[in-house]
Amino acid sequence: MKEWNSFDSIVEAKGMWLTTSDGIHLLDGVASMWCNVWGHSKPELVNAITNQSKRVQHSSMFNLTNEPAEKLAKNLIKLSPGMHRVFYSDNGSSAMEIAFKMALQYWKNIGEKKKTKIATLKNGYHGDTFGAMSVGYNPEFFGKFKKQLFQTIQFPVPNKYRIPKGYSFSDYQNFCLDKIEKEFYRDDKISMFVIESGAQVAGGVIIFPKEFQSKISKLCKKYNVLLVLDEIATGFGRLGSMIQYTEQKSTPDIVAYGKMLTGGYLTMAATLTSKKIYESFLGEFNDRKHFFHGHTFTGNPIAAEVANENLRLYQKNNLISKIQKTSKIFERYYNEILNLDIVGDVRHKGMLMGIELVKDKKKKNPITTKTSINKIFFEAGKKNGIYLRTLGNIIMLVPPLAISEKELDLLLSRTVDTIQSAQKKVL
């Protein structure tokens, strides 16, 4: 904290550009925490907020509902094969807590009391609340709370750049899947398997190899384990398809959306369930099968309305096909970035790129610095007119999805300049 004794304040934001109180213009390489879709001050989204705020600002989802939230639920179900009902919350961590609670309660509802364990992949991230920290346990982020966190069963994840000695990439994938299957076979207390869908993002952009997720999905079905997918960072086009689990040919029992759901303008997340899960909660009052969970701002009508408008814009502008074209610009820069002195690996899918910084390309040991890596790269980026953020030793390039080819080209060329200037300080 000491290093950050003052922050730049953003006073205006338009399109892909942020303006600080000192009048500095920064091209947004972070999409306002990975959630901005259309850039800033998009008139249609601003109007949706303005118009809805004149009708109903907020009510409650207890005993009542509201029109925008109902419409949004229908829209989300239409988009999400196999899903049947939507439960709202106001941030991704809560959406994941809801997913864990629903999955655990499902087994209680149907009388399977032994199903209480939670399985997951190492290195995942699902938010900063206690359940999310337990499931997405990362010692670097959450080590200080380890004693208060609950146990999960963690399986290794295939990271092509860091395969253990003696394995080929495909052998290692099989090894990981085999481990999962053996444990599922041995332990019938496993209630659910929780993973980010398509890639681990905060864990350093670890993109799942083809078929990895679909094979996990099949194992879940075979051994009666619920599949809980977290699409908060990877869905809605970030990895190049609207709903990542359809591309991954996997069938979740529960899936969570957040971040880009409202175009990144207001705070809303959603947990969707299959009919099977939903129906297990239907009972007589005294059965006590209902779901005890509700946040103050659940189903907020202004957030829901801007989400509806956001989804309309996805369709109207054919955003997913556009992303597939724009994201090719990343590929153009792949070799140039990889050849930089401190870059060990570059991982890219859709509108996401992770650039792993190492001290030594052969040894692959992460760079270490006296001040934080993030601060060094943020300041260097600022000098080049871009807003950059690193997570550990990874530069995360996560621009707004609708960024133009020209602006993405500019972001990437300035990222190259930034790494070149910052690496002198790091090596």
Ligand X SMILES: Cc1ncc(COP(=O)(O)O)c(C=O)c1O
Task: Please select the residue that binds ligand X; options are 158, 235, 252, 258, rule is CB under 6 A.
Answer: 258
Piece in contact with ligand X (CB under 6 A), picked from 60-68, 149-157, 230-238, 327-335: 230-238
Q: Residue 137: name the closest of 72, 248, 68, 126 by CA.
A: 126
Task: Please select the residue that binds ligand X; options are 37, 104, 177, 201, rule is CB under 6 A.
Answer: 201
Task: Please select the residue that binds ligand X; options are 126, 348, 349, 414, rule is CB under 6 A.
Answer: 126
* Comparison of 265 and 333: residue with beta carbon closer to ligand X: 265
Token pair, residue 421, equals 């200037």
Tell me the site size for ligand X, rule CB under 6 A.
14
Environment class of 281 (CB within 10 Å of its CB; exposed 0-12, middle 13-18, buried 19+): middle
Piece in contact with ligand X (CB under 6 A), picked from 8-16, 92-100, 215-223, 281-289: 92-100
Residue ranges in 317-376 that form contacts with ligand X under rule CB under 6 A: none
Piece in contact with ligand X (CB under 6 A), picked from 123-131, 275-283, 284-292, 416-424: 123-131
User: DSSP letter string over 192-213?
Assistant: EEEEESSEESTTT-EEPPTTHH
Tell me the closest approach of the beta carbon of residue 29 to ligand X, in angstroms: 16
Tell me the closest approach of the beta carbon of residue 207 to ligand X, in angstroms: 14
Task: Find tokens 């869908």 and name the residue.
Answer: 197
416-426 burial code (b ≥16 CB/10 A, e <16): bbbbebbbeeb
Going 251 to 253 to 256 to 261, the CA torsion angle's sign is positive
Task: Find tokens 């790091």 and name the residue.
Answer: 426
From the CA atom positions of the chain, what is the Rg in Å?
A: 22
* Comparison of 194 and 419: residue with beta carbon closer to ligand X: 194
* Comparison of 94 and 274: residue with beta carbon closer to ligand X: 94
Tell me the closest approach of the beta carbon of residue 25 to ligand X, in angstroms: 26
Token pair, residue 16, equals 């892909």
Helix (H) or strand (E) holding 229: strand 226-230
Task: Please select the residue that binds ligand X; options are 52, 75, 80, 91, rule is CB under 6 A.
Answer: 91
Task: Please select the residue that binds ligand X; options are 196, 305, 309, 356, rule is CB under 6 A.
Answer: 196
From CA 44, how far away is CA 46, in angstroms rounded?
6
From CA 147, how far away is CA 151, in angstroms rounded?
10
Task: Please select the residue that binds ligand X; options are 83, 104, 226, 233, rule is CB under 6 A.
Answer: 233
Residue ranges in 47-86 that form contacts with ligand X under rule CB under 6 A: none
* Comparison of 95 and 357: residue with beta carbon closer to ligand X: 95
Q: Which residues contact residue 195 at a Cβ distance below 8 angstroms, ignoring those fewer than 6 apart?
A: 120, 121, 124, 213, 216, 227, 228, 229, 230
Task: Work out whether 98 is an interface residue with ligand X (CB under 6 A).
Answer: no
Task: Please select the residue that binds ligand X; options are 83, 232, 380, 422, rule is CB under 6 A.
Answer: 232
Task: Please select the residue that binds ligand X; options are 29, 39, 127, 301, rule is CB under 6 A.
Answer: 127
From CA 395, how far away is CA 387, in angstroms rounded?
11
Task: Work out whether 125 is an interface residue with ligand X (CB under 6 A).
Answer: yes
* Comparison of 101 and 108: residue with beta carbon closer to ligand X: 101
Task: Work out whether 261 is an interface residue with ligand X (CB under 6 A).
Answer: no
Outline where 272-404 has alpha helix (H): 275-280, 301-316, 319-326, 328-338, 373-383
Tell me the closest approach of the beta carbon of residue 261 to ligand X, in angstroms: 10
Tell me the closest approach of the beta carbon of residue 394 to ligand X, in angstroms: 13
Token pair, residue 70, equals 């109902």
> How many CB atoms sit inside 10 A of residue 304's CB?
27
Footprint on this chain of ligand X (rule: CB under 6 A): 91-93, 96, 125-127, 196, 201-202, 230, 232-233, 258
